[in-house]
A and B are shown apart, each in its own frame.
Chain A
């Protein structure tokens, strides 16, 4: 079963530091996403990415955040100057084309703790 791989599984950082979360989507998928889940709350959409550009982003995804697909396999989320409220679980997801475009496969998540 193909899967989405995320690293690191848990990262602890100091407030104000930069963090990069990495994801390897399923190889033949073309749509990539980042979602966030603050502890005890619902899963929130951050950004979607297609054809090497952002296709949609939420209000949460401000200038502090950026995404990149630096090579043919990785999809990264960068958080500049982290804040305490950025502490959350960050999920990467990917989806295919046609009938598969609406079915997202999620990674196991990266837990970010900002101190």
Chain B
């Protein structure tokens, strides 16, 4: 069975600085998708960025980018120029052949002004 591990329960970053959230996963599948979701206090799940496993190039969405290391099964999220609105819970998620998302336990990000 696939698993997703987020080893950082909480992280803090100064406004305008850069922060990296870690995620590792375990799977025997070769074709899958990886995601980062943001959950603000409203508790809505918002897709931040996605990565197809067959693509070697790291995905980027404005200030958000990933470092995808397929061999190491690592999928970290980098947030550049952090803003107060980035404060939220961030979930790493895996989606493979069964087409159901498997979530990590989340990292609570605080942004200090």
**Interface on A for B, CB 8 Å cutoff?**
31, 33, 35, 37, 41-45, 48, 55-56, 89, 91, 93, 95, 101-109, 111
Pairwise interchain contact A109-B43, C-beta atoms closer than 8 A = yes
Closest 8 CB pairs of A and B: A106-B45, A102-B33, A43-B103, A108-B44, A102-B95, A42-B105, A45-B100, A42-B103
Q: Are B103 and A102 in contact (CB under 8 A)?
A: no
Q: Which residues of B contact A42 (CB under 8 A)?
A: 91, 103-106
- CB within 8 Å of A: which residues of B? 33, 35, 37, 42-47, 50, 91, 95, 98-106
Query: A108 CA to B16 CA in the complex, in Å?
Result: 29
Label chain A's interface by main secondary structure: strand
Quick one: closest B residue to A57, CB to CB?
A: B100
Chain B nearest CB, measured from A42 CB (Å): 5
B67 → A minimal CB distance (Å): 20
Q: B34 — nearest CB in chain A belongs to which residue?
A: A102
Provide the residues of chain B in CB contact with A95, threshold 8 Å.
Answer: 99
Within the complex, which residue of A35, A108, A109, A111 is in contact with B101, where a contact is CB–CB below 8 Å?
Answer: A35
With known contacts A42-B105, A103-B50, A33–B45 Cβ distance under 8 A = no
Shortest C-beta distance, B10 to chain A (Å), equals 13
Cα of A19 to Cα of B104 in the assembled complex, Å: 28
**Cβ of B91: which chain A residues have Cβ within 8 Å of it?**
42-43
Across-interface contacts of A43 in B (CB, < 8 A): 45, 91, 101, 103
> Is A104 within 8 A of B42, CB to CB?
no
Which residue of B has the minimal Cβ distance to A44? B103
Q: For A93, list chain B residues within 8 Å (CB).
A: 45, 101
- B95 contacts across to A, CB distance below 8 A: 102, 104
Contact check, B99 vs A105: say whether CB atoms are below 8 A apart.
Answer: no
The distance from the CB of B42 to the nearest CB of chain A, in whole angstroms, is 7
Q: How far is the CA of A31 from the CA of B103 in the complex (A)?
A: 18
